[in-house]
Structure 1
Amino acid sequence: MRKYNIALLPGDGVGPEVVKEGEKVLRAVSKVVGLDLDYQEYYVGNQRYLEHGEVLPEQTFQDCKAADAILMGAIGLPRAGMKPVTDKYGTEVTGHLMFKLRFDLDLFAGVRPIKSFPGVPSALAGKDRKIDLIILRESTEGLFSSYGGGGVVNDACAYDTQIITRKGTERAARYCFELAIGRNGRPVDGKRLVTCTHKGNVFRSFAYMTKVFNEVAEEYKESVDSELCMIDALTLLMTQRPENYDIILAENMHGDIISDMAAAYVGGMGMAPSGDIGFEHGLFQPSHGSAPTIAGKGLANPTGTILSAKMMLDWLGRKHEDAALTKAAQLIDDAVYQTFLEGVRTSDVAGTASTSMFGDTVVKHIMK
């Protein structure tokens, strides 16, 4: 049996609480399936920055790089008066951790599943809507390429630059099509579909992105359909009929925005897992922030973290061709579904369960 080393980064606010539940579920499923997961926890985040002047020590980064996968909670901690912790340039120090990991580990595929669960209220009109789509945010370029760059000129203007490369678009697009092949298609009719969203009618960078996307789409045309949709139109159409979408490829900033919006379709940020994935490394975390106002109160929804742990096992299973990991991932997914079917929900999704009670119920279903 192969041992897998998991780096745990609980982070700030509710991060430690939700990571605790994720680890609890991982330990339970490891017993059932027979996995050898070794956990090492590291102190990172904005609170660490306030105490030590750094969010991510170099040795911790090297340990994360050497780990088989990373499971993170949430990063970010406002000061008194709800002001964010910023560096000398006025930007939040959270980015010093997130972009160090994404850029230096080449985590180009920001995979954001948006999936409905029974009994969870949605911001959309209509009940019992079947939503199961993935937003893939290219995570190493786009507007975020300017992180640490850009500038301010004579306190009169500021600038940042968007970068779109052939390499970045090709590999993100291929990741989308490969994901689509392994799924059941969009809920409305089962069609496997990759939608590339853009603003190519205005910006050359996006026009280039769609050109490269279409070239990749041609390679997969026998098995997966493709389409282009401008970002402003997509926000309307996706909100009206999310069932019409399967996989959506987006530039970094666009993906950041629409994935948060789409989380409201399935109950909010507490329901949304994510994975920042590369060819060699993977970082998995809930999409929500640190929510410091509810930290320590047992109110945080651990669903996003638990499903991120599920994504981690699935990715490791495919990477290492380990069927036990893939089975464990499916067990977690089934157990979360059964937990919601039982009516166990946290307060953010119209329930009364505490953070730990939700995790305990998922464990109960795993053990069944």
Structure 2
Amino acid sequence: MTVYRIGVLAGDGIGPEIVDAAVQVVKNASCKAGVKMEWIHLPMGWEGIKQYNDPLPEVTIDALKHTHGWILGPHDSAAYPLKHKEKRNPSGELRHSLDLYANIRPAKTMPGIKSVVKEADLVIVRENTEGFYADRNMFSGHGEWQITKDVVVTSGVFTRKAVERIAHEAFALAMQRRKKVTIVHKANVLRLSTGLFLNVCREIAAQYPEVKVDDYHIDAMAAHLVRRAADFDVIVTENMYGDILSDLAGELVGSLGLAPSLNANEHIAMAQAAHGSAPDIAGLNIANPTGIISSAAMLLKWLAEKHADRKLTEVAATVEHALYQTLQAEVKTKDLGGHASTSEFTEAILEKIKSLQH
């Protein structure tokens, strides 16, 4: 039997509270299914700075390479000392250095959660390594240059290799869902850069004849999401557009605080909630762990597929069902209009896990 090595990077702010909640939930669900996991706690953020003078120490990166995947808590990089702010933040560095090129961000209406849209079940597949995020598209340096005190130039990088592999991720995912992919770009203005993105995605689409394909400019897509989110299945786009659209989609289905994500390549994956570290409520036991718990479930599904492990599929389903049943039972944290603390919300999920049948 495989023992899955799972890294745990608690992070900053509310990170330790919500990551601990996710670990408890996955531990209980995996024990129930008879799946063995080894949890490897590693320093990141302020913990890394205190121990190694680095928010993402090399010891952490090296250890992650020997795991099956990991859970990454939020970081408060805006508050780090200046010398650390000048580097990529921990999340960006992990995506860049480990080539986690696919950022999968689902947005789905959930039971018991008020949403702006009546119904939605879509996934934004975001290219994670280049595009218009200058700090992630350079081999060395940050991709921004201050020419004079009043002039700054920033780079956007688009390569066929990167577009091809994210397009394959999107179309393969669509084949498992409703077989529809929407390509988001700005090729009417950025004709070479996002034009390449659009054209290469269309080339890849020809390899998936069962999938229906359409495309929208980024500005129009934002409007379409607000107006008719339920019509979309899989949306594929470049780095910055994907970040913006996924935040919008998260709010439309309930709250960005609920939004999960997975960062992955062919070999390894990182679960990471889409929200930040919320330092203003850190340590108050009122943070909502839904986003990171859902992200952990995504990691379990990814591992289940990679290792052809039905037991892991069962664990992921247990985590999701217990979470949804808890929300449907109106057990909610303060941000959702409820009265449950972080620990009370987590305990309610654990009770649901105990009651679920195999």
Whether 2:166 is the aligned partner of 1:177: answer no
Q: Which residue identity lines up with residue 56 of structure 2 in the other structure?
A: L
1:136 maps to which of 125, 136, 146: 125
Query: What is the TM-score when the length of structure 1 is the normalising length?
Result: 0.91
| Other-structure match for 1:16 | 16
Partners of 1:211 and 1:317 in 2: CA distance: 33
| Other-structure match for 2:114 | 121
Q: Which residue identity lines up with residue 324 of structure 2 in the other structure?
A: Y
CA deviation map 1:192-215 (0-9, x unaligned)? 211010000001101111100000
Partners of 1:42 and 1:269 in 2: CA distance: 26
Q: 1:1-368 alignment to 2 at 5 Å? A: 1-46=1-46, 48-49=48-49, 52-76=52-76, 78=78, 84-85=79-80, 87-88=82-83, 91=85, 95-122=88-115, 124=116, 129-147=118-136, 148-183=142-177, 185=178, 192-203=179-190, 204-221=192-209, 223-368=210-355
Q: Which residue identity lines up with residue 212 of structure 1 in the other structure?
A: V
Deviation at 1:51, TM superposition (A): 6.9
Partners of 1:154 and 1:263 in 2: CA distance: 38
Which deviates further from its counterpart, 290-299 or 39-48? 39-48
Percent sequence identity is 37
| CA 1:50–1:158: 2 relative to 1, 3 Å | farther
Deviation at 1:266, TM superposition (A): 1.9
Q: How many residues align?
A: 349
Partners of 1:362 and 1:132 in 2: CA distance: 23
8 A Cα contact 1:77 1:85, kept in partner: yes
Partners of 1:290 and 1:146 in 2: CA distance: 21
Q: Which residue identity lines up with residue 57 of structure 2 in the other structure?
A: P
Q: What is the SS of the residue equivalent to 2:73?
A: strand
| CA 1:233–1:165: 2 relative to 1, 3 Å | same
Deviation at 1:46, TM superposition (A): 4.0
Partners of 1:8 and 1:169 in 2: CA distance: 30
Partners of 1:3 and 1:60 in 2: CA distance: 20
Deviation at 1:77, TM superposition (A): 5.2
Q: Which residue identity lines up with residue 82 of structure 2 in the other structure?
A: D
Partners of 1:314 and 1:106 in 2: CA distance: 20
CA deviation map 1:205-260 (0-9, x unaligned)? 01111100000111112x21111110000000111111011111111011111111
| Other-structure match for 1:189 | none
CA deviation map 1:109-128 (0-9, x unaligned)? 10011111122122x26xxx
8 A Cα contact 2:74 2:277, kept in partner: yes
Deviation at 1:52, TM superposition (A): 4.7
Deviation at 1:299, TM superposition (A): 1.2
Deviation at 1:146, TM superposition (A): 4.1
CA deviation map 1:136-170 (0-9, x unaligned)? 11001101244423211232311111011111111
| CA 1:77–1:100: 2 relative to 1, 3 Å | closer
Q: Which residue identity lines up with residue 252 of structure 2 in the other structure?
A: Y
Q: Which residue identity lines up with residue 194 of structure 2 in the other structure?
A: F
Deviation >4 Å, runs of 4+: none
Deviation at 1:73, TM superposition (A): 1.2
CA deviation map 1:306-347 (0-9, x unaligned)? 111101111111111111001111111111111111111111
Partners of 2:279 and 2:81 in 1: CA distance: 16
Q: What is the SS of the residue equivalent to 1:257?
A: helix
Query: What is the TM-score when the length of structure 2 is the normalising length?
Result: 0.93
8 A Cα contact 2:107 2:123, kept in partner: yes
8 A Cα contact 1:146 1:161, kept in partner: no
Deviation at 1:88, TM superposition (A): 4.7
Partners of 1:259 and 1:146 in 2: CA distance: 20
